[in-house]
Amino acid sequence: MNHFLDIHKTDAADLRSMIDQAAKTKQARAGQPKAAVDEDQPLKDRMVALIFEKPSTRTRVSFDVGVRQMGGQSMVLSGKDMQLGHGETIADTARVLSRYVDMIMIRTFDEAVLTEMAEYADVPVINGLTDRTHPCQIMADILTYEEHRGSIKGKKVVWAGDGNNVCASFLHAAGQFGFDLTFTGPAQLDPEEEFMGFARQKGSTVVIERDAFKAVEGADLIVADTWVSMHDAQSAKERRHNMLRPYQVNDELMSHAKPDALFMHCLPAHREEEVTSAVMDGSQSVIFDEAENRLHAQKAIMRWCLGS
């Protein structure tokens, strides 16, 4: 039994195997209807619980469709529908769910909820997102980059904006897949030292550059994310906008990167804030390939979790 909790907690060879598997199964499904079941049905007779304490579009739909394409069944649960951490401990919920389902995906706030679920579950647990990391997203991003440009090893990735949970998983991926990462953003929003330290220990070059235009010089990939959360107060949103405005990804910034640099965003995006529509809809953007690849990458993750 394998849990998929974080990129830095998973063996690099296994991560590479998942990316290769995702590419292979995506190609095998080319041209098929979305509801067609994969020929080998690796989740046949399996039930997967999909737990959402946070709202979701891509995570919810991609996991649900992925389970069905693999021949399994899914049960979508929201935090308000359950006694998760309220009327019942996380540990007891994990024990109970293990009697009903074959795998658990959870999208939650506190990382401790994820780790306690994994500790007490008798079935594989997948991190669909926490406030600290978002590993499934970055697996899709690696798959997307390599579809368009070949191996990501040795490439330069630039993260522009807030050193948030998605940025954290990109740093983990830098160490595991062997690429370099430059962070450009205000000092108040730097990534945690722990995340940068992991990538550096693995041999990746991690740089902080406050000047966004200098940061993107020689970049193979530029990545952005929203500046504010739906849970932020209005005053906090205004402060963040003022702080992050110099790091907007626009045509001028993209022009300072390599001519064939790609742009990614995990979505949803706030157009004309962290990125302009001209970039999002431009020829260097692969955001919708990236969104689609959540499906294929997560199917490979689920296969790996069940050893199939």
Active site residues: 107, 134, 137, 225, 266, 294
- The residue length of the chain stands at 308
**Running DSSP on this structure, what letter comes out for residue 122?**
S
Q: Is 160 exposed, middle or buried (0-12, 13-18, 19+ CB in 10 A)?
A: buried
Q: Are 208 and 190 in contact (CB under 8 A)?
A: yes
Maximum CA pair distance of the chain? 55
Q: Which two tokens stand for residue 197?
A: 């330290």
Give the integer Cα–Cα distance in Å for 241 and 231: 15
If we measure between CA atoms, which residue out of 171, 133, 185, 126 comes closest to residue 306?
126
For 121, phi and psi rounded to 5 degrees?
-80, 145
